[in-house]
Structure 1
């Protein structure tokens, strides 16, 4: 079967969410607007996530996985997914199911006119501290990148795979995917999606990850922007 869309699912110590995640993704594949596959990226989990992922992939023909030897972080997991995807489109969703796979269809409606379509979480179901820190972090990032995005931390995105593979990833750069598409002269848009409270497992990001970490990453992005090479081939003999 030829897939048009690959959903990357980074996983780090999410054993309590994986069975429900399997059910939600299986249900989505039945209603997906394009032929879709799922690619789990086990980010060196120390719980039973790896074994559960293997079992899930064995009983679902449209599911595959790769597994890191050790924990490398969310950006590395997303980058590995981009590198291994063979479909025209690629996206990702967090394994905590605070966003709904069904909302990928909302994003896919717009991908023909854009290189990246990202969700923006409406009516967020997070704690006051998490919401405020995320708003501050997004404000800082917008001041550096001028990408116009309100919620780059939303774990629901669809990207043209050719553009995704050209994104140079380093730790923390998952927050800058829209900005990196803009560096390629790509078009981006944000679409409201649903948001839900976390029902199981533990959040992997704390105050440092949401405020001070992103601030430091902004300086890394400015360096990357200065050094970024973008070219277009006008003519070729082949």
Structure 2
């Protein structure tokens, strides 16, 4: 299996080096892979740290946004540049465990004959966040599942494994990374959730405020509902002559 690992980062200078080392250690013995780190307009030493790491890791590619465009755009930039058909994404804050990429890949290989399996989504069943963040995440996930019926317990988990071509066929909008399972299902794909590890953040701080995330989530949720209602999945058969 060949995997392109896409990691969007913004002001994560303290997490970069250890995260790159962990990804390489997890994947090196098992897979052909590349690491695409997309620096989304960082104002700290993130880009400098990436350049230094590239001297040690030949699998590392660096893409740079001159101004911050957001996590979804950074992911889209990385996926567009990727050379392999399977994409693994994870957050740049170190809370996702790179070893779980192998866990998702192993689950995919158990279904390798299934043409409809387009995504495997990480499920942080034991969150390492404070009580308020846990509550707000559970609340948001329950509302989203009720409205979108995506049967995915944790769409906010940054750790995912999906097909590059299917992702690039989806209509792009900001924050699409939080609704990927619903969008995949709406276009005819299958999504499997897999329990993954979730670690405490050791350095830096979250880029999202609870209120900001809530307001953006409401607007985006309405947009996804609109897109789903205007999509259709035709059943196609080819008519032969005679």
Q: Same fold (TM over 0.5)?
A: yes
Paired residues of 1:134 and 1:210 also in contact (CA < 8 A): no
For residue 20 of structure 1, report the CA deviation from its aligned partner.
1.3
Q: 1:216, 1:8 → 2: CA distance? A: 26
| Alignment-derived partner of residue 93 in structure 1 | 90
Deviation at 1:88, TM superposition (A): 1.4
Correspondence for 1:12: 10
Distance 1:142 1:209 in 2: 20
Q: Any stretches of 5+ residues in structure 1 without a counterpart?
A: none
**Cα distance, 1:234–1:57 mapped onto 2, change above 3 Å:** farther
Show structure 1 runs of 4+ deviating over 3 A.
Answer: 226-235
Shift of 1:17: 0.8
Q: Which stretch of the first structure deviates more once superposed, 190-199 or 167-176?
A: 167-176
Counterpart of 1:176 in structure 2 is 179
Q: Tell me, yes or no, if structure 1 residue 115 matches structure 2 residue 118.
A: yes
Counterpart check, 1:135 vs 2:138: yes
Q: Deviations over 1:196-228 (max 9, x none)?
A: 100001111111244222121101112222344
Distance 1:124 1:144 in 2: 23
Distance 1:191 1:67, change over 3 A: same
Whole-Å separation in 2 of the counterparts to 1:121 and 1:187: 20
Q: Which residue of 1 aligns with 2:163?
A: 160
CA contact (8 A) 1:140 1:215 kept: no
Distance 1:86 1:44, change over 3 A: same
Question: Separation in 1 of the partners of 2:5 and 2:150?
Answer: 24
The equivalent of 1:106 in structure 2 is 103
Tell me how far apart the structure 1 counterparts of residues 148 and 24 of structure 2 sit (CA, whole Å). Answer: 37
Which structure has the larger Rg?
A: 2
Contact 2:86 2:164 survives alignment (8 Å): yes
* Counterpart position of 1:150: 153
In structure 2, the residue corresponding to 1:200 is in which secondary structure?
coil
**What TM-score, normalized to structure 1?**
0.91
- 1:26 offset after TM fit, Å? 2.1
The answer for unaligned runs of 5 or more in structure 2 is none
- TM-score normalised per structure 2: 0.90
Q: Distance in 2 between matches of 1:88 and 1:203?
A: 30
The number of residues matched between the two structures is: 232
Cα root mean square deviation, aligned: 1.8
